[in-house]
Amino acid sequence: MNFTYQRSYRGRIKLAVFDWAGTTVDYGCYAPAAVFIEGYRRKGIAISINQARAPMGMEKRAHIQTIGAMEEVAAQWQKVHKRPMQQQDVDELYAAFVPLLLKTLADYAALIPGTRATVDVLRTKGIKIGATTGYFTEAMAIVQTAAAHQGYTPDFSVAATQVSAGRPAPWMLYRVMNELDVYPPQAVVKIGDTKPDIEEGLNAAVWTVGVAKTGNEIGLNEAEIAALPAAELATKRAHAYATLHQAGAHYVVDSIDDLPAVVDDINARLARGERP
């Protein structure tokens, strides 16, 4: 008779890897959305906030290209410029995007409530803290510095431009795991507010947690959330939860505040031999 055997990791979560904007800083993920709108406006193209947000989480050059490929945006570009968008146009939009983002990032770098407390709780459980982002290196440095002044410093952080490809590729996550000497993937949880965040985690075979209320899917800051009628907030929240679940998230929560309970649940599942 022939038998096969399957290894089963029965340990605990060793590493939590967070996104930046919309997850740990920039409640509502406003900074990049506003800059994409302004960049296209300078080319004579009006894009909506929803179009600007749709590819959020991707590396920013890829984000610009994805917006340009949208049917309505492509038609508008053809009408204004008398030709389809070309790679040179993407390069010019990206070149304009970089200084615009660097100029505004510090204004949107306030920690999301609960970030420091959550990270402190995780560290008491022996969990290392990593970060990945769709931002380029210089932008990530601005956010890191601002977050550090507020008491949040990941053990290691990676920008999309520091690997061969950003989200949804798993390379940023693998680099964090390598630098912090954490394996197997079952011992890692990725937390983010966008579909590419979730896809990044799934492609790396780690646990994934979507953040609904503070991130890109609702796209409102804390004051705007508080001002919403309860029924409207419930509708937006339900849509955000559905979007992130449909992307494949193992869990979806309102905010980073909810993560310690999720980690406890994952640890219980790991002890039973479950895997992502």
| Residues annotated as part of the active site | 19, 60
The encoded tokens of residue 181 equal 């000497």
Contact 225, 85 (CB under 8 A): no
What's the distance, Cα to Cα, between the start and end of the chain in Å? 30
**Opening angle at CA 63, ends 71 and 131, nearest 5:** 150
The encoded tokens of residue 226 equal 């508080």
Residue 32: CB atoms within 10 Å? 27
Q: SS3 of 5, please?
A: coil
How far is it, in rounded angstroms, from Cα 32 to Cα 34? Answer: 6
Of 188, 186, 240, 239, nearest to 211 by C-alpha is 240
The values of phi and psi at residue 251, to 5°, are: -140, 150
